[in-house]
Amino acid sequence: MPIFLKMSGSITLRSCARYLVPFIIPRKRSVLCSAILQRYMSSKIPGVSYPKTESTSPPEQLGLDGWKITMKSSVQEEGVSPVSSSKDEDPLAAIRELIEMWRLLGKEVPEHISEEELKTTMECVSKSSKKKYLKYLYIKEKKKKANQIKKERKAATREKAIREQLLETTKEDKQQNFLFLRLWDRNMDIAMGWKGAQAMQFGQPLVFDMDYDNYMKPKELQNTVSQLLESEGCNRRDVDPFHLYFCNLKIDGAYHKELVKHYREKWDKLLLTATEKSHVDLFPKDSLIYLTADSPNVMTTFKHDKIYIVGSFVDKAMQTGTSLAKAKRLKLATERLPLDRYLQWDTGTKNLTLDQMMRILLCLKNTGSWEEALKFVPRRKYSGCLEISQHSQELVNGLKKSKTFNSSPKGSLNIHTQKRWLK
Amino acid sequence: MTLCFTGIRSFPKLWKSNPYLGLSLGHSYFSLFLKDRYGIREQQKWFSLKAVSAQNTKAVNLLVAKSRCVRKGDKGSNKEVSSDSHLFAAGAARKRSQMNPLREDHALPPVRNTIQLPTKPLTSEEWDKLKENFKGKANFASWIISQMAHSRSSIDVAKSLLAWVAAKNNGIVGYDLLVRYLYLCVFHKQTSEVIDVYEIMKARYKRLEPGAYTLLIQGLVRSDRWKEALLLLEDVKKVLIPSVRNYNDCIEGALLHQDVSLAWNLYQELLGRDLTPMLKTLKAFFDFGKNVKDEQYSNKLLDILLYLRNNHLYPEESFAHSIKTWFESVPGEQWKGQFTTIKESGQCSGCGKTMESIHLSPEEYEFLKGEIMRDVIDGGDQYKKTTPQELKRFQSFVKCCPPFDIVIDGLNVAKTFPKVRESQVLLDVVSQLAKQNLQLLVLGRKHMLTQHSRWRKDEMKKVQKQASCFFADNISEDDPFLLYATLHSGNHCKFITKDLMRDHKACLRDAKTQRLFFKWQQGHQLAIVNRLTRSKITFQHIPSYNTVVQTTGDSWHIPYDEDTVERYSYEVPTKWLCLHRKT
């Protein structure tokens, strides 16, 4: 136990502070103490063991001001404090110290911070944006640490299991008969590749409109690209994938750079069509339907002869009506999901993420059931499903029948049999 | 924590049977936790407690309402203040919200204080014992000191805690404990303690963070070492922009120690950083001014008043008193101040002078028109709110019509009374206004023309006979058209809607334009106030004067906020300070 002695009597604590021999114990990390002092303490204190008996008789009443004198005097002994050492230091160091002090106060700031991150912090205009960025770093750091710990634990258990298995296998080394080699992952990849190629030839097109890079901040763009990755993955695994089009994708634009960064060499082998052209140039205008939550028209059924467009746009700045304006400009039909008809909406925006949209569309394409498809809407956003009455069900069916199928020849839509840049 | 969970688990039926428990689950969680410590039989008590608290809030609301009534009664003589709740008058939004019966009762803040905070300094054994009782994730010392800071314990208790921590920890007290202790010292105005902590912090840490700096500045400015607070301010500047509060403390300190030029320099610096000074800071200058007989200082104070004018800031009641006292203390000028209201005609009830007109000057008007066209209607993408074709159609429509006297937001007006058919309300309003021989424009959307149970074709035909109509697409916004048509018709033209237009105001570029818009809106917006449709429809009167700090050289009129009235950001005060020179 650490010891603090209260010296009673006529001697002031200040003068006897140098005789106080604190007992060094391995302090927990959570004990907040400045780095300077720690260094000082560890260098100056002689490793004299202190008789334990002394500590068992603490004073009845704690001296109220004693701690102050110790706090001050310990520094006085040190001589010149580091306060005056550097007057004109660079602002990076200053901000690093600020972050350190915030950390001591228990604020949400990262423990370690790189030069580059420091610079980003400094470039934040306001105090609140600095705090926001630091909190982001803090959470990132925490996650990383937790993952590290998990990884180590897993490795340990695996090692243990292997050791146990080794003991067992030495006992019985039985010959076993198998039909397949364990090459499931690769087989799956190949199968998905085949399906993808088929979709490139005969699949229904689904367009991601990439014309939103001016509306987004870098953070939002990153989110968008990770959502795109997710949706592409979903599509690849599906029984009957869409033929994906990334339209308005500028080469060396922000989207393109980010996508290539994530896909690396796989980018050129992806079974989808990436093009700089607009969707209105590729497809007949009357078969295009722009999906946007701001649309006045509700989507009743999934039509297999239409080409749906999803705006790849993460909007955190509440720029409502951007995609609707785009559709209006190109005079395209618009639709929104019938969320209100099927779900008791609770909270959250009706803008869904790209991968949720993808799953819903895939599900609709395969089953045509809204109840099934809208299960991909995050559960936190709605409180329950609405029962569709028999009457309205009939109405919907009637609508379905009355819709004339103006089936354009399917082949004409799928001119591009492999992923390539359209010139 | 474990206790709490067992508590929940052991009363599953209670949770289900009581519907209103389920609603406020997060909240009752803590309350349950609190009570469950005493055992099961307390359950019943807890429910009754909750019920009482609900009644309490209701009772409080009643009281509030009552006091409001009383206040109303008091001011029966000042008719223009009490009887009308003008759309933009201070407190009107609050009143409107209280009329709404669906208001949620404010949930009581969760209490989870499981340890009785000590009221007197404890010995180290007592602290040890207390620590054993504490079960929580956080560090005991930092948890308890934050609780103490929250309940403003006396500093002796905090000091004994720090002594105990120091004793356990080689004489070292953590930074967070020091800061919380400093907070208590500053709160209890213990200057010597503040200086002690300042010394410790200075010795121990190279640099502090803004929280500690703020506290130190606040604590030091009252002491003899107030100059050091300025050094701390410099330290803050190295990494962050100091808060207005930091500046306020430093300025107050400088004034307290008679360093006037320093105070003004700091004030200039504060303005230079685009910060809005606290009204407290400005009040401090006025309070100090009572004892300064100096032309230059007076001029600077008048500059502050102009600053208030330009930024549409309104002083608080106490600040208004300070201004009054200062004016009355100016030697040789014999100012006389009184608190009054302004009559509907725009005359001050105190001195009879007419206030500045609400109308914009021609330059301002043109400027605002351009800004609204560019930022609200166009907004960089004409397709967002309308389409270029529609905009062109509308512009040519407005051009070929004679200037209108009143522009009506058809949908807003029609939906004013939910129990009456939409088209009928619209027809009533239009025909009443048409009788006065006014040139009307009704804006609406195309769906209003299709036959519907709430939109009858014959009534719409009658509307179209009596007024010019423009129907926008169903997905276009109609408010921008309303603004444009009104502005285009000229200064005499008014518009009718209950919409406060805050979203359109937000589209405008900067605060200055927004204030201009607000001024124009105050002067041109008519809102329907009466609640009986069939009877004559009455409109909100339009104030003829502008609520802003204003002067004519030998008189000042300063609107101010009453302490008892909660004013929303889009409302203006109703109370005035009238100052005039005796001649």
DSSP states of B471-494: EE-TTS-SHHHHHHHHHHH-TT-E
Q: To which residue do tokens 């300190």 refer?
A: B253
pLDDT tens profile A359-384: 999 999 998 889 999 999 999 999 88
Q: Which amino acid is at B28?
A: S
Q: Which chain B residues touch A64 with a CB distance below 8 Å?
A: 121, 156, 159-160, 163
CB proximity list for A374: less than 8 A, separation 6 or greater: A337, A339, A342, A343, A360, A385
Residue with tokens 């201070």: B90
Q: How confident is the model at residue B556 (pLDDT cuts 50, 70, 90)?
A: very high
List the single best residue of A18, A20, A45, A64 to mutate versus B (max B Cβ within 10 A).
A64
pLDDT for position B100: 62
**Mean pLDDT (chain A, rounded):** 78
φ and ψ at residue A21, rounded to 5 degrees: -110, 100
Greater model confidence, B280 or A68: B280
- Contact, B26 vs B33, CB < 8 A? no
B209 with A70: Cβ contact below 8 A: no
Residue A72: the pLDDT is 66
Please state, in angstroms and rounded to a whole number, the distance separating the CA atoms of residues A144 and A111: 12
> Which of B166, B209, B387 minimises the CB distance to A101?
B209
Confidence label for B102 from pLDDT (cuts 50, 70 and 90): low
Write out the H or E segment, with its range, that includes residue A328: helix A322-330
Kindly tell me if the per-residue pLDDT of A87 is higher than 60.
no
Average pLDDT for B16-45: 42
- Sign of the torsion formed by the C-alpha atoms of B566, B570, B571 and B577: positive
Residues 452-511 of B with CB under 8 A from A: 474-475
**Measured between alpha carbons, how far is B325 from B319 in angstroms, rounded to an integer?**
10
> Tokens 């005609």 correspond to what residue?
B345
Q: Are A220 and A253 in contact (CB under 8 A)?
A: no
Tally of CB atoms within 10 A around A177: 4
Percent of chain A's residues with pLDDT above 90: 49
Determine whether the interchain pair B159/A64 forms a contact, defined as Cβ–Cβ distance below 8 Å: yes
CA distance B379 to B383: 9
- For residues B213 and B226, what is the distance between their CA atoms, to the nearest angstrom? 13
Using DSSP's 3-state secondary structure scheme, residue B545 falls into strand
**DSSP symbols for A2-55:** -------SSS-HHHHGGG---------TTS---HHHHHHHHHH-------HHHH
Q: Does B274 touch chain A (CB under 8 A)?
A: no
pLDDT number for residue A60 = 42
The residue that leads in pLDDT, A270 or A176, is A270
The Cα A135–Cα A158 span in angstroms is 34
Report how far apart, in Å, the C-alpha atoms of B556 and of each of B342, B428, B550 are: 13, 44, 6
> Would you place residue A225 in the very low, low, confident or very high pLDDT band (cuts 50, 70, 90)?
very high
Q: Residue type for B248, please?
A: N
Query: Percent of chain A having pLDDT more than 70?
Result: 69
Separation in Å, CA of B107 to nearest CA in chain A: 20
Distance CA B54, CA B57 (A): 5
Q: What share of chain B has pLDDT > 90, as a percent?
A: 36
Q: What is the pLDDT of residue B129?
A: 86
Which is more confidently placed, A281 or B75? A281
The pLDDT of residue B365: 93
Mean residue pLDDT of chain B comes to 81
Confidence category of residue A241, pLDDT binned at 50, 70, 90? very high
DSSP string, B245-271: HHHHHHHHHHHHTT-HHHHHHHHHHHH
The pLDDT assigned to B322 comes to: 94
For B457-469, the pLDDT digits (tens) are 999 999 999 999 9
Closest to A301 in 3D by CA, of A184, A200, A403: A403
pLDDT value at position B8? 43
pLDDT at B440 exceeding the cut of 80? yes
Provide, as residue numbers in chain A, all residues whose Cβ is less than 8 Å from the Cβ of B200. Answer: 68, 71-72
pLDDT for B541-555, tens place per residue? 888 899 999 999 889
Looking at residue A14, its pLDDT comes to: 46
- Smallest CA–CA distance, residue A318 to chain B, in Å, is 12
Nearest CA in chain B to A35: B205
User: CA-CA distance, B99 to B15, in Å (whole number)?
Assistant: 33
Whether B120 shows a pLDDT value over 50: the answer reads yes
- The amino acid at residue B31 is S
pLDDT range class, residue A169, cuts 50, 70, 90: low
Burial of B30 (0-12, 13-18, 19+ CB in 10 A): middle
Where would I find the beta strands (DSSP E) of A193-313? Answer: 205-209, 243-247, 273-274, 288-291, 307-311
d(CA B537, CA B539): 7
Of B125, B207, B384, the CB nearest to A98: B207
Does any CB of chain A come closer than 8 Å to the CB of residue B240?
A: yes
Q: pLDDT at position A415, please?
A: 42
The CA R_g of chain B, rounded to the nearest whole Å, is: 31
3-class secondary structure, A246: strand
Binning pLDDT at 50, 70 and 90, where does residue B279 land? very high
Q: What Rg value do the Cα atoms of chain A yield, rounded?
A: 33
Return the H-helix or E-strand segment holding B495: strand B494-496
Q: Which residues from A are below 8 Å from B149, CB to CB? A: none
- Residues A4, B171: C-beta atoms closer than 8 Å: yes
pLDDT digits (tens, 9 = 90+) for B76-90: 434 333 345 677 887
Confidence (pLDDT) at B155: 86
**Six-digit token pair at B453?**
């149970």
**Span A112-167, pLDDT tens digits:** 999 999 998 888 888 899 999 999 999 999 999 999 999 999 999 999 999 988 88
Q: Are B487 and B458 in contact (CB under 8 A)?
A: no
Tell me which residue in A31, A85, A126 faces B169 most closely, judged by beta carbons: A31
Q: Which residues lie below 8 Å from residue A353, measured CB to CB, with a gap of 6+? A: A227, A314
Top mean pLDDT of A50-64, B42-56, B227-241 is at B227-241
**Residue B66, pLDDT score:** 46
Q: Residue A275: what residue type?
A: T
* CA-closest candidate to residue B515, choices B478, B548, B542: B548
Name residue B443's beta-bridge partners: B409, B470
Rounded Cα–Cα distance for residues B218 and A363 (Å): 63
Give A263's pLDDT tier (boundaries 50, 70, 90): very high
DSSP E strand boundaries for A136-177:
none
Q: Chain B residues with CB inside 8 Å of A96's CB?
A: none
Q: Which residue has the tokens 């701690």?
A: A67
* SS3 state of residue B430: helix
pLDDT of residue A244: 95
Q: Is B131 on the interface with A (CB under 8 A)?
A: no
User: What confidence tens digit (pLDDT) does each residue in B172-198 have?
Assistant: 888 888 899 999 999 998 888 899 889
Minimal Cα distance from A329: which residue of B?
B383
For residue B417, give the nearest of B296, B529, B555, B305 by alpha carbon: B529
Q: What percentage of chain B carries pLDDT values higher than 70? A: 81
3-state secondary structure of B569: coil
Measured distance CA(B196)–CA(B200) in Å, rounded: 6
pLDDT band per the 50, 70, 90 thresholds, residue A413: very low
Per-residue confidence (pLDDT) for residue A170, from 0 to 100: 63
Q: Which residues of A are less than 8 Å from B207 in CB distance?
A: 94, 97-98, 101
Residues written for chain A:
423
DSSP letter for each residue of A114-132: -HHHHHHHHH-SSHHHHHH
From chain A, pick out residues whose CB is under 8 angstroms from the CB of B124: 58-59, 62
| CA gap B127, B507 in Å, rounded | 58
Cβ–Cβ under 8 Å, residues B164 and A62:
yes
B279 vs B248: CA distance, rounded Å = 9
> Residues near A175 by Cβ (< 8 Å), separated by ≥ 6?
none
Furthest C-alpha separation in chain A: 105
Q: Which position has the higher pLDDT, A68 or A4?
A: A68
How confident is the model at residue B543, as a pLDDT?
A: 86
Q: What is the mean pLDDT of residues B225-244?
A: 90
B186 Cβ contact partners less than 8 Å away, ≥ 6 residues apart: B194, B215, B218, B219
d(CA A87, CA B11): 64
What pLDDT band is residue A94 in, cutting at 50, 70 and 90?
confident
Please report the pLDDT score of residue A63 as a whole number: 60
Q: Which two tokens stand for residue A147?
A: 């993952």
Residue B10 has pLDDT above 80, yes or no: no
Using DSSP, state whether B314 is helix, strand or coil. Answer: coil
Rounded CA separation A166/A164 (Å): 5
Give the span between the Cα atoms of B414 and B423, in whole angstroms: 6
CB proximity list for B499: less than 8 A, separation 6 or greater: B409, B412, B479
In this structure, what are the phi and psi dihedrals at residue B92, rounded to the nearest 5 degrees?
-65, -40
Look up residue B168 and give its two tokens.
């356990």
Q: Do B164 and A36 touch (CB under 8 A)?
A: no
Q: Is the pLDDT of residue B442 over 80?
A: yes
- Which amino acid type is present at position B196? D
Specify which of A96-100, A284-288, B88-92, B380-384 reaches the highest per-range mean pLDDT. A284-288
More confident residue, A52 or A74: A74
The tokens for B160 are 């004994």
Higher local confidence (pLDDT), B503 or A423? B503
**pLDDT higher than 90, residue A418:** no
Chain A contact present for B139, CB below 8 A? yes
| DSSP element (H, E) containing A334 | strand A333-335
- Give me the mean pLDDT over the B470-493 stretch: 90
Instruction: Please state, in angstroms and rounded to a whole number, the distance separating the CA atoms of residues B561 and B308.
Output: 13
Predicted pLDDT of residue A400: 59
Number of H-type helices and E-type strands within chain A:
17, 8
- Using a CB-CB cut-off of 8 Å, the residues of chain B touching A97 are 206-207
Instruction: Identify the residue among A44, A71, A72, A127 best suited for mutation to test binding to B, counting B beta carbons within 10 A and taking the highest.
Output: A71
Residue A295 carries which DSSP code?
Answer: -
The span from the CA of B31 to the CA of B47, in Å, is: 10
